[in-house]
Amino acid sequence: MELAAATSNVSVAPQQSRRLLNAFSRKLGSVSSLSVGYFERDYCFKSPGLRVSAAASMDAVTAEKISPASFLDKRETGVLHFVKYHGLGNDFILVDNRDSSEPKITQEQAAKLCDRNFGVGADGVIFAMPGINGTDYSMRIFNSDGSEPEMCGNGVRCFARFIAELENLQGKHSFTIHTGAGLIVPEIQDNGQVKVDMGIPILKAQDVPTKLPGNKGEAVVQAELVVDGVSWNVTCVSMGNPHCITFGKKGGPNLKVDDLNLPEIGPKFEHHEMFPARTNTEFVEVLSRSHLKMRVWERGAGATLACGTGACALVVAAVLEGRADRKCTVDLPGGPLEIEWKQEDNHIYMMGPAEAVFYGSALL
Ligand SMILES: N[C@@H](CCC[C@H](N)C(=O)O)C(=O)O
């Protein structure tokens, strides 16, 4: 797989952007069907001046023909058009797969695309697919290692914004989405943030899944897990995907998450024999009863800047361990999420941002 090109709108001035466009246009030469893909989203859609300049540098396609939907509509064999989104720096390649229930690329191709040196670079690839059992859409995701998780919290916020863009929807909108974790309902707010009904957390040990024996009914709460000879206190929660949450070592002080050597300790949790489906691990510092700080090591993706399902799972763990209230701000490396585990319906609600970053095309 070869990368055609892609450009981010982060801190690129209009003049630089124009130069980039011209360079891409020259480089791609007669491959006019691809050259349309390379423009700065924000400047194209918010800056009429550049829109004209951009079009002028592309001899084959006029700016008027460019829209998010028409860009993704282009269907050349061997080319994947995508939009890159992120939710607090947890970044995804979004693929318009609404015409088929088969992902447009394989798990191996997804892993290559996610490579930050030889590909686009992302924590995962997300496919927007036709709904199942009466839902509006289905979401599937491949992690950056090519494995397929059941759910992705930051991803589902990106998914909702992607659908709104594809369907040209403005303002408040909600969708029903079938995922590996069942029905998930995101609602885009007027300010562009996305609130998601993440469903009911799963606590039964064998359903998480973990081989640790239940110690609070069937749930695993503040139980001992020996990792590399060191005893940690862990609580296990599934949000459709498995999470192991720790606030510190057994008998030790509360965690200071900035002091952790995540690349060293993270994989030892992920591949621990007590987690037959591997696990995501959240390391959590309690700042107050309504303010938590976390770092995450994700199954199949490693250290990421944010994990939505992880933020939900750790609030559940904090409540079960008596460390926090049901409504918390969770600080992740990429920014904060608002999480509430509602007593009334036992559902967890997550609120946070999702942003499109750039459009691109990859040669498969
Ligand atoms: N970053 C995601 C979780 C993605 C899936 C995870 N790596 C897994 O394998 O379970 C989120 O925001 O929830």
ipTM score of the complex?
0.99
Statement to judge: residues 88 and 183 lie in one domain? yes
Alpha carbon distance 81, 74 (integer Å): 8
Statement to judge: residues 191 and 209 lie in one domain? no
Asked if residue 71 lies in contact with residue 45, where contact means CB atoms within 8 angstroms, the answer is no
Question: Residue 181: is its pLDDT beyond 80?
Answer: yes
Ligand 1: which of 280, 314, 330, 339 to mutate, most ligand atoms within 8 Å of CB?
Answer: 280
Q: How far is the CA of 222 from the centre of ligand 1 (A)?
A: 22
φ/ψ (deg, to 5) at 237: -140, 140
Question: Residue 11: is its pLDDT beyond 70?
Answer: no
Percent helix, strand and coil across the chain, each to the nearest 5: 25, 35, 40
Q: How far is the CA of 152 from the centre of ligand 1 (A)?
A: 5
72 lies in some domain: no
- Confidence (pLDDT) at 68: 63
Statement to judge: residues 27 and 126 lie in one domain? no
Q: How do residues 61-98 score in pLDDT, each as one tens digit?
A: 333 445 666 677 767 778 999 999 999 999 999 999 99
In this prediction, residues 315-340 reach a mean pLDDT of 98
Which residue range(s) make up the domain with 282? Answer: 205-346
Count of structural domains within the chain: 3
The token duo for 120 is: 């686009």
- Confidence (pLDDT) at 39: 36
Question: Residue 49: is its pLDDT beyond 50?
Answer: no
Statement to judge: residues 60 and 1 lie in one domain? yes
Answer with the one of 66, 87, 102 that is the final residue of a domain.
Answer: 66
299 lines ligand 1 (CB under 6 A): yes
CATH classification at residue 92? 3.10.310.10
- Confidence (pLDDT) at 275: 98
60 lies in some domain: yes
Q: Which residue of the set 152, 158, 236, 328 is catalytic? A: 152
Q: What percent of the chain has pLDDT over 90?
A: 78
In this prediction, residues 106-134 reach a mean pLDDT of 97
129 lines ligand 1 (CB under 6 A): no
User: Residue 90 forms beta bridges with which residues?
Assistant: 87
168 lies in some domain: yes
Statement to judge: residues 339 and 323 lie in one domain? yes
Any catalytic annotation for residue 244? Answer: no
Ligand 1: which of 278, 299, 315 to mutate, most ligand atoms within 8 Å of CB?
Answer: 299
Statement to judge: residues 278 and 323 lie in one domain? yes
Alpha carbon distance 82, 127 (integer Å): 10
Instruction: Answer with the residue of higher pLDDT: 158 or 12.
Output: 158
Statement to judge: residues 183 and 104 lie in one domain? yes
22 lies in some domain: yes
300 lines ligand 1 (CB under 6 A): yes
**Average per-residue pLDDT in the chain?**
85
Task: Calculate the dihedral angle through the C-alpha atoms of 150, 170, 189, 243, rounding to the nearest 10 degrees.
Answer: 10
Asked if residue 296 lies in contact with residue 332, where contact means CB atoms within 8 angstroms, the answer is yes
Any catalytic annotation for residue 312? Answer: no
Statement to judge: residues 228 and 340 lie in one domain? yes
Question: Residue 31: is its pLDDT beyond 80?
Answer: no
In this prediction, residues 270-298 reach a mean pLDDT of 98
- Confidence (pLDDT) at 85: 98
3 lies in some domain: yes
Instruction: For residue 201, name the pLDDT band (cuts at 50, 70, 90).
Output: very high
Alpha carbon distance 153, 5 (integer Å): 28
Q: State the closest ligand 1 atom to the C-alpha of 241, by its place in the atom list counted from 1.
A: 10
- Confidence (pLDDT) at 57: 28
DSSP H or E run through 43: helix 41-46
Q: How do residues 212-238 score in pLDDT, each as one tens digit?
A: 999 999 999 999 999 999 999 999 999
- Confidence (pLDDT) at 154: 98
Statement to judge: residues 276 and 364 lie in one domain? no
- Confidence (pLDDT) at 363: 86
Q: How far is the CA of 72 from the centre of ligand 1 (A)?
A: 25
Radius of gyration over alpha carbons of the chain, in Å?
Answer: 21
φ/ψ (deg, to 5) at 179: -130, 175
Statement to judge: residues 314 and 259 lie in one domain? yes
71 lies in some domain: no
156 lies in some domain: yes
Statement to judge: residues 323 and 230 lie in one domain? yes
308 lines ligand 1 (CB under 6 A): yes
Specify the amino acid at residue 199: G
- Confidence (pLDDT) at 364: 85
Statement to judge: residues 186 and 217 lie in one domain? no
- Confidence (pLDDT) at 178: 98
Q: How do residues 131-171 score in pLDDT, each as one tens digit?
A: 999 999 999 999 999 999 999 999 999 999 999 999 999 99
The token duo for 7 is: 């450009």
φ/ψ (deg, to 5) at 339: -125, 135
- Confidence (pLDDT) at 78: 84
Separation of CA 300 from chain center = 13
Answer with the one of 44, 66, 88 that is the final residue of a domain.
Answer: 66
101 lies in some domain: yes
Alpha carbon distance 331, 145 (integer Å): 26
Ligand 1: which of 298, 314, 350 to mutate, most ligand atoms within 8 Å of CB?
Answer: 298
Q: What percent of the chain has pLDDT over 70?
A: 80
Q: How far is the CA of 154 from the centre of ligand 1 (A)?
A: 8
